[in-house]
Structure formats: C-alpha cells, structure tokens
Amino acid sequence: MADVECRTERRNRPGTKTVEYYRWPEELFEEMDSTLAVQQYIQQLIRKDFTAIDEILKAPDSQDEGVWKYEHLRQFCMELNGIAVKLQNECHPESCTQMTATDQWIFLCAAHKTPKECPAIDYTRHTLDGAACLLNSNKYFPSRISIKESSVAKLGSVCRRVYRIFSHAYFHHRNLFDEFENETFLCRRFTEFVTKYNLMSKEILIVPIFEEVDASGFIGHAAESEA
C-alpha cells in the first residue's frame, strides 16, 4: 500500500476556544499547494508578528506581483471590518453627517447612482461592501493565481476609497483609531503597501502615521485635540 502523506488540518473547528485559534504549525510558502496559498501565507505572517511590516509585504520569489497586491488588498478590507465595527459605537449619523477628514476633506460616496454625501458610518459600510463586490467579481478577478493587468489597474481606486476610513477615524475618532492601530498596525501596513506599489500618491496620505509613533513603536495620544 502506498504511503499516505499526513497533512495538518488547517481550520478552526466548531467549539475551538479563541486562545486556540490558528494553533497549527507554520508552513513554507513553497509547500502550500492550495489556490488560496497567497492569502494563507499573508495571514500566517500577520499572525506570526503583525508589527513585522517589511516581512509581511515582501513577496516570495517568483510570486506574481498582481496577485500579491490583490491578495493584500483583500486582506486589508477584511481587517478593516474590525475598525468599522468599532466605529458603530461612536460614529453616529447624527454626529458624523459627512465622510470627512479634518475640515478640508469631504468625500462623496460612490455607492449611489450619482456620487453623493453619506454619513461617515454609511460611507464606511458602502465602501467596504463595494470593495468586497469588486474583489470577489468573477468578471474582473476570476482567478486567485493570475490576474489581468487591466484588473490590477482597478486596485488603486479601491485603495483610495478604503483609505478614507482610516483618515476619518484618525481625525474624528482618535482614541478609537489609536486603540485599533496599536492592536493591528493596519494603517501603517496599508500606508507602506500603497507607497511601495505606487497605488496612491503621497499627497493624499494624510494620516501622519509614522510621525505619531513613539519610541516603543506604537501610536500615542498626543493629538487628541484633532478629534
């Protein structure tokens, strides 16, 4: 009888305690044979050390760059749902009637037939829903292994829209932003990602994420007056 290779089951089964989530051995990227290998590898790096941004963003040798950027953006959108949930507790339509970042930036929501103003929390939901629809579109992204250049070109637009969630949270819900950022380094990772791959111009990266980092590497509360 031929030997059967035993592989570790990589799933959180029903009833798994939170502290035991993802408690399976790390796997080399070259050994991952799933069509979701890139996503699994990125998530493995984040779980290993979410502060190791350079390592998380470094693509394996021979990895298709378009797929690498696509999978990272999918991951960003999934993680941004975490800050969206937190925003629901204090970002109310009555207090945040527009999607703003400081008094100089007001963003129109593209989820409507004609772009228009939305309360910030609605803009956040609409933007993440729209990003999910696009990134899961069989028309533009039918494969997780190779992506047409014309589809890769759409990633920059998604980046610009979801970045506004960071900027609103930073300038109008600073304590919430700091708490989430110190737990995830998500805005810092996103900023380095879009800069590395020229997906956004530096002029519109308005969250001074690196300027606010203290000696420990975490975000402080020095600018609460901006909220």
The predicted model gives 159-175 an average pLDDT of 96
Is 41 part of a structural domain of the chain?
no
The predicted model gives 25-50 an average pLDDT of 85
Is 122 part of a structural domain of the chain?
yes
Least confident of 18-32, 36-50, 179-193: 18-32
Is 114 part of a structural domain of the chain?
yes
Distance between CA atoms of residues 105 and 196, nearest Å: 24
Structural contact between residues 173 and 90, judged by C-beta atoms closer than 8 angstroms: yes
Q: What angle do CA 57, 84, 79 make, to 5 degrees?
A: 25
Predicted confidence (pLDDT) per residue in 28-39, tens digit: 767 777 778 899
User: Could you tell me the pLDDT band of residue 153, with boundaries at 50, 70 and 90?
Assistant: very high
Is 124 part of a structural domain of the chain?
yes
The predicted model gives 123-129 an average pLDDT of 97
Is 112 part of a structural domain of the chain?
yes
Number of domains in the chain: 1
Joined together, the tokens standing for residue 51 give 């502060």
What CATH number should be reported for the domain holding residue 68? 1.20.140.30
Is 129 part of a structural domain of the chain?
yes
**What is the domain range of residue 65?**
48-212
pTM for this model (two decimals): 0.84
Cβ contacts of residue 124 below 8 Å, gap of 6+?
84, 87, 91, 99, 165, 168
